[in-house]
Amino acid sequence: MSAAKRHLIACEVFKDEFEAIAPPELARTYLPQGLHRTPGKMPAAIQEVVDGLPSDGELIILGYGLCSNGVVGVAARQAPIVLPKVHDCIALLLGSVERYEAEVNACAGTYYITPGWAAYGRTSLSAYKTEYLPKYGEEDARYIAQECLKHYIRVAFIDHGVGNVELGRTHAKEFAETFGLTYEEIPGSLEYLRHLVSGPWDGPDFLTISPGTAIDQAPFLGLHSISLP
């Protein structure tokens, strides 16, 4: 299967990672990370891209996990869909489900940040500075942010060596300092993403959805998950 006949649809926070490892001929569409804030909008946004793809495409690759059911209901008429079998993107960023589960077991209350999140996305720190402070003032803004973060004890900066690493590191350190959380840097891995764009896809880390079949949450049940604010 030629990479020229595939199309990747992914969250924008993955842009730097995918640009580092995707074949040049692979067509790519990145959607705003803000869709995660209202997961009900995600299926429609992804479906709109899917429906607009060329009819001669051979494969659609989704750079999303289940994402709070943000991919449930998406279906393609012409080509199969491949997506990672994960609840959220942390396993993709760490390189494997096993590594993700090890991090959860070591410290479940971890807020993960990458250069992509700092550059293209929204974190609790950016929400605090750009949304809560102007609207509510210091005292109430801090209360809202700390309520969102009450289950977190660690900020972990995932470094893949791609993207604006210093921007991501600075953002993560400021995040930890602002809210009194511990800071740690952990190495990222591009292997899961590399396999996602290049295959093979017949292992347990991926789901292949046949044309005309909608993505369902059932295959994801039983997987480890955490929710990011």
Q: Do both 19 and 78 map to the same domain?
A: yes
Structural domain including 19 reads 3-90+190-220
Q: Do both 155 and 214 map to the same domain?
A: no
Q: Do both 118 and 10 map to the same domain?
A: no
Q: What is the pTM of this model?
A: 0.90
Please state, for a pLDDT cut of 90, what percent of the chain lies above it.
75
Total domains in the fold of the chain: 2
Q: Is the distance from CB of 115 to CB of 168 less than 8 angstroms?
A: yes
Q: What is the Cβ-side half-sphere exposure of residue 84, based on CA atoms within 13 angstroms?
A: 26
Confidence of residue 222 (pLDDT cuts 50, 70, 90): low
pLDDT of residue 113: 96
Per residue in 200-212, pLDDT tens? 999 899 999 999 9
Beta strand pairing status for 27-31 and 81-84? unpaired
pLDDT of residue 217: 85
Local structure of 208: helix, strand or coil: strand
Q: What is the DSSP letter of 91?
A: H
Per residue in 12-65, pLDDT tens? 999 999 999 999 999 999 999 877 777 578 899 999 999 999 988 899 999 998
Q: Is the distance from CB of 152 to CB of 183 less than 8 angstroms?
A: no
Please state, for a pLDDT cut of 70, what percent of the chain lies above it.
95
pLDDT of residue 190: 96
Question: What's the token pair of residue 88?
Answer: 């959220």
Q: Do both 156 and 128 map to the same domain?
A: yes
Residue 95 located in a structural domain: no
pLDDT of residue 226: 44
Q: Do both 53 and 9 map to the same domain?
A: yes
**Does 229 score more than 60 pLDDT?**
no
Question: What's the token pair of residue 189?
Answer: 């891995």
